[in-house]
Amino acid sequence: MVKIEILEETEESIKLLLSETDRSLANALRRSLITDIPKMAIDEVRFQLGTKEEEGEVWETTGPIPDEMVAQRLAMIPIPTIHDKFYFQDECPNCKDLVEADRGCLECQMIYTCVVFGTEDGRWVTADDLKYLGEESLEIPAEYKTIPITKLLKGQMIEFYATAIMGRGKEHTKWSSVCGVSFSPRRIGVLNNKTKAKILWDMDLKINAKDFDKDGKLTDINKVSTLISELNHVGEGTEVSRDFKDAITLEDVPGEFILYFETDGSMTPRTAFLKASEELGGRFGSLEQDLSEAL
């Protein structure tokens, strides 16, 4: 069974060490993270068109960019996703038996509203101007409220209702909750020639001979990452590459991979990984059942 160790974790990113596994499973996790995680995203925007008169001023629903572009920007804003609170519309107990056009209730959609008036100097419309019609906890997270949507001048206004529903990244990128997903074999540094390695030590960088154990191995993951960067100073294309040669080499650790990714803010990295694992496990479980029935 694959073993998982958290190497680094923040509110927006995570680095994991996968052990006792192979490249195919690591890649399956990568693909599942990108395409399979359920996520809420704005899917439909209804713009209110016309004019308004307030305090002797006339405001018109015009702006510098088309409504289609505004809708596209809204779709990419991270919407808080609570998986045990909302359903896919085709799985919602209240809506699954309805035609698609009639679906939508408090358990399968989120509605945000926005009304903003321009100013003489220009007024930025940001994610902070989206107001959720419901619990305050489902407002756009504070760190993403500054995401710009459009800018309005005096006489211009914007008013719309935006509906968010659950989807998956394989349907559209707006439903992909992660980015920068990558995995690589875990490596260790091997000191082959102490004399020639001194070329690197003399550069007074972060890694030195003391970091290697008595067997000439460097196993600390963070230090190996630093070593990989520093080997560029003595690699191909440098003046000392011929003298340095293979004084220090890198070796893959069989069955171990480092997985790294960031989230868009709609959920924590840990939640994203757990959901991707669940989706992947469910798929393999279904495949196993189908094969057993077929055979």
Shared domain check, 46 and 31: no
Q: In terms of residue numbers, what domain contains 194?
A: 3-36+179-262
Among 146, 175, 204, residue at a domain's last position: 175
Among 154, 175, 196, residue at a domain's last position: 175
Is residue 293 one of the residues assigned to a domain? no
pLDDT for the residue 292? 55
Shared domain check, 71 and 162: yes
Q: Residue 60 is which amino acid? A: E
- Residue 109's nearest CA partner among 173, 170, 168, 44 is 44
Is residue 142 one of the residues assigned to a domain? yes
Shared domain check, 147 and 106: yes
Shared domain check, 216 and 236: yes
Assign residue 157 the CATH number of its domain: 2.170.120.12
Per-residue burial over 209-220, b if 16 or more Cβ lie within 10 Å, else e, is eebbeeeeebee
pLDDT for the residue 145? 95
What's the longest Cα–Cα distance across the chain?
84
Shared domain check, 64 and 101: yes
Q: How far is the CA of 105 from the CAs of 86, 109, 112, in angstroms?
A: 10, 6, 14
Shared domain check, 143 and 202: no
Shared domain check, 59 and 138: yes
What does each of the 295 residues of the chain score in pLDDT, given as a tens digit?
789 999 999 999 999 999 999 999 999 999 999 999 999 999 999 999 988 887 778 889 888 999 999 999 999 999 999 999 999 999 999 999 999 989 999 999 999 999 999 999 999 999 999 999 988 889 999 999 999 999 999 999 999 999 999 999 999 999 999 999 999 999 999 999 999 999 999 999 999 999 999 999 999 999 999 999 999 999 988 999 999 989 999 999 999 999 999 999 999 999 999 999 998 888 766 545 544 554 4
Assign residue 254 the CATH number of its domain: 3.30.1360.10
Is residue 291 one of the residues assigned to a domain? no
Shared domain check, 196 and 169: no
pLDDT for the residue 287? 47
Q: Residue 267 is which amino acid? A: M
pLDDT for the residue 282? 82
What whole-number distance in Å separates Cα of residue 230 and Cα of residue 218? Answer: 14
pLDDT for the residue 286? 55
Is residue 272 one of the residues assigned to a domain? no
| Start-to-end C-alpha separation, the chain | 25
**Domain count within the chain:** 2
In DSSP notation, 239-283 reads TTHHHHTTSEEEEEEEEEEEEEEEE-SSS-HHHHHHHHHHHHHHH
Shared domain check, 21 and 70: no
Q: Which two tokens stand for residue 65?
A: 């960019």
Among 143, 175, 207, residue at a domain's last position: 175
Shared domain check, 58 and 163: yes
Is residue 292 one of the residues assigned to a domain? no
Is residue 107 one of the residues assigned to a domain? yes
Is residue 54 one of the residues assigned to a domain? yes
Q: How far is the CA of 46 from the CAs of 67, 70, 138, in angstroms?
A: 10, 11, 20
Is residue 28 one of the residues assigned to a domain? yes
pTM of the model: 0.85
In DSSP notation, the chain reads --EEEEEEE-SSEEEEEEES--HHHHHHHHHHHHHT--EEEEEEEEE--SEEEETTEEEES--SS-HHHHHHHHHTSPPP--TTT---TTT-TTTTTS-GGG---TTT-EEEEEEEE-BSS-EEEEGGG-EESS-GGGSPPGGGTT-EEEEEBTTBEEEEEEEEEEE-TTT-GGG--EEEEEEEEEEEEEE--HHHHHHHHTT--S--GGGS-TTSEE--HHHHHHHHHHGGGSSTTSTTHHHHTTSEEEEEEEEEEEEEEEE-SSS-HHHHHHHHHHHHHHHHHHHHHHHHHH-
Shared domain check, 139 and 208: no
Q: Residue 117 contacts by C-beta under 8 Å, 6 or more apart in sequence?
A: 54, 59, 123, 152, 156, 157
Shared domain check, 23 and 75: no
pLDDT for the residue 295? 40
